[in-house]
Amino acid sequence: MMAVDERAAVDLSALEAAASAVPDPELPVVTLGDLGIVRGVSLADDGAVEVRITPTFVGCPATEAIAADVRTTVAAHLRESGAADVPVRTRTEMSPPWTTDWISEAGRRKLADHGIAPPTGSARHTGGPVAVTLGRPGSGAGGFDLAPGGVQQPEHAGVGASASVGAADAVSASAADRAPGSADSAGASAQNNPSSPSPSPHPPTQLKRAAQVCPRCGSADTRELSAFGSTPCQSLRACRACGEPFGAIKSL
């Protein structure tokens, strides 16, 4: 058991601030606090300081490094405040599931300044079945709508002919966020247009995600090259205005 004066030396909010200030090992321009990775710090019954953290993507290879960095930082703080004997551990909590919605405004700005487009729109996935709308590009009337549960419904008139698949809420959220004449819908139809000037050899995804702005020139006229990039959290996009490719944090 710890002596009373050792217990008093443990300032939990200061430790949480310290843990939150730890830079992300893969994207060191943002901190764990910016990413919403630190859930909280508490004093366990056995006298140890326990930092609760959340994994981001299930297969994120930085998870162990993050936990180790957090333990090192918190232990250093305890030593400085004279509580060097206090054990430190991290606990991974998966629930509620991490979402890119937890990335702070400051974090989003830092990512953009670093050349990585932050996620846009709301992730808001309910975990329900995925709605799939399919249609031949340009046909307009040739598609059909598979609502969650697989019940076939005729595609309603006026819905664009592009195929889209993805979380129903993410689709509706991004559709609600943008006016019909937005850059991304123009981009989407250009993707489907066979005479588009620089068609990607890679099949363009038609998952209707909210437009992500070019971090170099600020244009919203960007297209997705691949949903998969250099890290599990990033997709690869290219700007039509300035031509540069850039990584973009996927909305999850």
3-state SS record for 140-199:
CCCCEEECCCCCEEECCCCCCCCCEEECHHHHHHHHHHCCCCCHHHHHHHHHHCCCCCCC
Residue 154 touches other proteins, criterion: CB under 8 A: no
- Region of 4-12, 17-25, 92-100, 188-196 interacting with other proteins (CB under 8 A): 92-100
Q: Are 57 and 232 in contact (CB under 8 A)?
A: yes
Q: Which is nearer to other proteins, 2 or 165 (CB)?
A: 165
Q: Are 80 and 86 in contact (CB under 8 A)?
A: no
DSSP 8-state class, residue 52: E
Query: Can you tell me which of 178, 232, 238, 244 binds other proteins, judged by CB under 8 A?
Result: 232
Q: What string marks each residue from 203 to 222 as x (binds other proteins by CB under 8 A) or -?
A: xxxxx---------------
Q: Which residue is associated with the tokens 């893969």? A: 26
The CB-of-121 to other proteins minimum distance in angstroms stands at 14
Residue 44 touches other proteins, criterion: CB under 8 A: no
Residue 36 touches other proteins, criterion: CB under 8 A: no
Residue 175 touches other proteins, criterion: CB under 8 A: no
How far apart CA 135 and CA 159 sit, in angstroms, is 10
Query: Can you tell me which of 10, 32, 78, 123 binds other proteins, judged by CB under 8 A?
Result: 123
How far apart CA 16 and CA 78 sit, in angstroms, is 12
Residue 129 touches other proteins, criterion: CB under 8 A: yes
Residue 94 touches other proteins, criterion: CB under 8 A: yes
Query: Can you tell me which of 17, 29, 43, 165 binds other proteins, judged by CB under 8 A?
Result: 165
Query: Can you tell me which of 158, 181, 197, 201 binds other proteins, judged by CB under 8 A?
Result: 201
Q: Are 171 and 184 in contact (CB under 8 A)?
A: no
241: tokens are: 């205005």
CA dihedral (178, 179, 181, 184) in degrees, to 10, reads 0
The residues of the shown chain that bind other proteins, judged by CB under 8 A, are 55, 57-61, 94-99, 123, 125, 127-130, 132, 134-136, 143-144, 146, 148-152, 163, 165-167, 201-207, 225-230, 232, 236, 250, 252
